[in-house]
Amino acid sequence: MIDKVLIANRGEIALRILRASREMGVQTVAVHSTADADAMHVRLADESICIGPAAAKDSYLNTHALLSAAAISNADAIHPGYGFLSENADFAAMVEEHGFTFIGPTPEHIRLMGDKIAAKRAVADAGIPVVPGSDGEVTSLDDARAIAEGIGYPVLVKAAAGGGGRGMKVAQSAAEIDDSFRFARAEAEKAFGDGAVYLEKFLARPRHIEVQVLADHHGNVVHLGERDCSLQRRHQKLLEEAPSPALNGAERQRIGETVTEAMRAIGYRSVGTIEFLYEDGEFYFIEMNTRLQVEHPVTEMICGLDLVREMIRVAGGAPLGFDQDAVKFNGHAIECRINAENPDTFAPSPGRIGDYHAPGGLGVRVDSALYSGYAVPPHYDSMIAKLIVHGTNRNECLMRLRRSLAEYVIDGVETSIPLHQRLMGAADFVNGDYDIHWLEAFVRRNTGDT
Ligand code: ADP
C-alpha cells in the first residue's frame, strides 16, 4: 500500500499524478525548483519542498535532493512522471535502495530497454518483429558494407546509445555507406560519448504506431491498444490519436497479443510502450519506453481507465483488477500538444500568461498546469497544455477538436494552436492518410520554407 507519494516532476504531468493520487486518498508531496515556486502542482499538493535552483540538473535531476525530500516528508513512494529521471535505471535503483517504492518498472528493465542493441535482441527473442538489420554493433567499414549489401539499400546507421534522433544517418546506396557510417559514429561519439552503431533497413514511408501495456507484479499483463503518433517534427510528436486510422481489428489484435506475450516472457511490470514503425501491413520494433508517456490520455479516453491510478496500484503490490477480455475500446481520441512556441518557426515563447480560458463540454479534457498570471519559465520543455478530445468516432472527434481549439484562449505567449487549426483543415490529415514525414512537408508548404 502506498499512502504518500513524492512527485519527482513538474508541469502538467505533476498535476496529473497529483490528481490520480488524491482520488485514491494518497497524500502528495510536490518538489520544485526556485523558478517553479508559484507552479500549480506546488499550490495543489499536500506538501511541497524546494529542491534547488532553476536549472534542471540542479533540481529535477538532482537525485540527492529528491531522496532527501522523500525522507524529510516521509513519503513511501516516488513517481518520476516522464522525462527527467523517469528512464534513469540508477535513480530507480537508488530509490529502492533507500526503502522507497519506485512507481515504474524494475531498474533492470529500464537499463535493458535503454540500450538499443540489447533491447532489440531481447524483444526479438521474445517474439516481437524488429527492423531487419545487423546482429548487434557494427565496428568496421568492411562489415558495414557487407551487412548493408545483405539488408539491401537504403539502410540507416543508428547509434546504440541513441536518443532524440541523433547519431542517425541514411545511406541510399553503396556509394554513401562509407560517409554515413563515419558520420553516425562521429555524431554518436559526440552526443553520447559512445560511438557504437548498428545498421537497419531504412523504411521509406512508415507510420509510428505504439502499443500500451500494463503489467502487475503477479505476472498479469494486458495491452491497451495502440496510438498513432506519426505526426512528428524533428522526431517530436505533435498530435497523437487512438485507435490508429491505419489498422484494422485483426492487425490490432495480432500486435497486441504479440506484445503482451513478450512482456509476460520478460517479466515486465508497470506501464510501458513498445514503439513500432508500420509499413505495408508489417510492424517493426524501434524502441520501448519504460515509463508513462505524454500521450497516455488518448488511451485512457478510449479504454475508460486511469493509467496513473493503475501504476500506483500495481507499484503498491495490488494485482490488476481486470483481464484482457475486460478491456473494451470505445470511440476515438486525439491529443494536441500545445507548446509555448511560434507556430511557424517553432522558436520557444516563454512569458507571463494573460487571459486564460480552457475549452470544455462533452468529450473535452485539458491536461495543463496553466493559469492566468502564471509565468511560463524559459528553463524547461515548452509543452504547456494537452487538449484531448474524445468522440464516438473519428469524425465526431475532429468536429469537437475544431470547436475546442477555437475556444482555447492562452494570451501572453505564442502557442502551437494555430498550427493545430491548420492541420484540422488538411485533407490528408482528415482522411487519416499520413506517415512520419507528412507533418514536416506540411509545415514547409505552409511557411514557404523549402
Ligand atoms: P531515438 O531514440 O533517437 O528517438 P528511434 O529508434 O526511436 O531513435 O528513432 C527515431 C525516429 O527515427 C523514428 O521515430 C523514425 O522516425 C526514424 N527511424 C528510426 N529507425 C528507422 C528506420 N529503420 N527506418 C526509417 N526511419 C527510422
What is the Å distance from ligand 1's center to 274 Cα?
A: 13
* Pocket-forming residues, ligand 1, beta carbon under 6 Å: 131, 156, 162-165, 200-203, 206, 208, 235, 277, 286-287, 436
Instruction: Indicate the domain borders of the chain.
Output: 4-88, 132-201, 207-447
| Residues pairing with 155 in the sheet | 171, 201
- Interacting residues of 333 by C-beta distance below 8 A, sequence separation 6+: 241, 242, 297, 298, 299, 301, 302, 388, 389, 390, 391, 397
Does residue 163 register a pLDDT over 80? no
Does residue 448 register a pLDDT over 80? no
Write down the architecture of domain 4-88 according to CATH: 3-Layer(aba) Sandwich (3.40)
- Whether 4-88 and 132-201 share one fold: the answer is no
The alpha carbon of residue 79 and the mean position of all alpha carbons in its chain are separated, in whole angstroms, by 16
Mutate to test the pocket of ligand 1, among 115, 168, 238, 275 (most ligand atoms within 8 A of CB): 168
Q: What is the mean pLDDT of residues 4-8?
A: 98
Residue nearest to atom 21 of ligand 1 (CA): 202
Query: Which of 405, 338, 404, 344 has its CA nearest to residue 370?
Result: 338
Dihedral angle, C-alpha 95, 101, 106, 111, nearest 10 °? -20
State the chain's maximal CA–CA distance in angstroms.
Answer: 63
User: For residue 264, what pLDDT is reported?
Assistant: 98
Peptide bond into 154 cis (omega under 30): yes
User: For residue 168, what pLDDT is reported?
Assistant: 92
Amino acid at 414: E
The share of the chain scoring above pLDDT 70, in percent, equals 99
- Give the model confidence (pLDDT) of 71-125 as tens digits: 999 999 999 999 999 999 999 999 999 999 999 999 999 999 999 999 999 999 9
Per the CB < 8 A criterion, the answer to whether 74 and 44 are in contact is: no
- Give the model confidence (pLDDT) of 429-439 as tens digits: 999 999 999 99
User: For residue 165, what pLDDT is reported?
Assistant: 78
In the set 291, 313, 365, 394, the catalytic residue is: 291
User: For residue 234, what pLDDT is reported?
Assistant: 87
Per the CB < 8 A criterion, the answer to whether 340 and 376 are in contact is: yes
User: For residue 412, what pLDDT is reported?
Assistant: 98
User: For residue 308, what pLDDT is reported?
Assistant: 98
The share of the chain scoring above pLDDT 90, in percent, equals 95
User: For residue 162, what pLDDT is reported?
Assistant: 80
Rounded CA-CA distance 48/176 in Å is 55
Q: What is the pTM of this model?
A: 0.96
Cell reading at 46? 499536500
Write down the architecture of domain 207-447 according to CATH: 2-Layer Sandwich (3.30)
Residue written as grid cell 514503439:
275
User: For residue 166, what pLDDT is reported?
Assistant: 84
User: For residue 167, what pLDDT is reported?
Assistant: 87
What is the Å distance from ligand 1's center to 278 Cα?
A: 12
- Give the model confidence (pLDDT) of 220-245 as tens digits: 999 999 999 999 998 899 999 999 99
Q: Is 313 a catalytic residue?
A: no
Q: What is the mean pLDDT of residues 412-421?
A: 98
DSSP string of 335-357? EEEEEBB-TTT--B--EE--SEE
- Give the model confidence (pLDDT) of 200-218 as tens digits: 999 999 999 999 999 999 9
What is the Å distance from ligand 1's center to 304 Cα?
A: 30
Does residue 449 register a pLDDT over 70? no
- Give the model confidence (pLDDT) of 267-313 as tens digits: 999 999 999 999 999 999 999 999 999 999 999 999 999 999 999 99
The domain covering 132-201 belongs, at the CATH homologous superfamily level, to: ATP-grasp fold, A domain (3.30.1490.20)
What is the Å distance from ligand 1's center to 9 Cα?
A: 27
Atom of ligand 1 nearest to the CA of 284: 23
Q: 26-30, 161-165, 395-399: which has the minimum mean pLDDT?
A: 161-165
Q: What is the 3-state secondary structure (H, E, C) of 16-46?
A: HHHHHHHHCCCEEEEEEEHHHCCCHHHHHCC
Per the CB < 8 A criterion, the answer to whether 197 and 159 are in contact is: yes
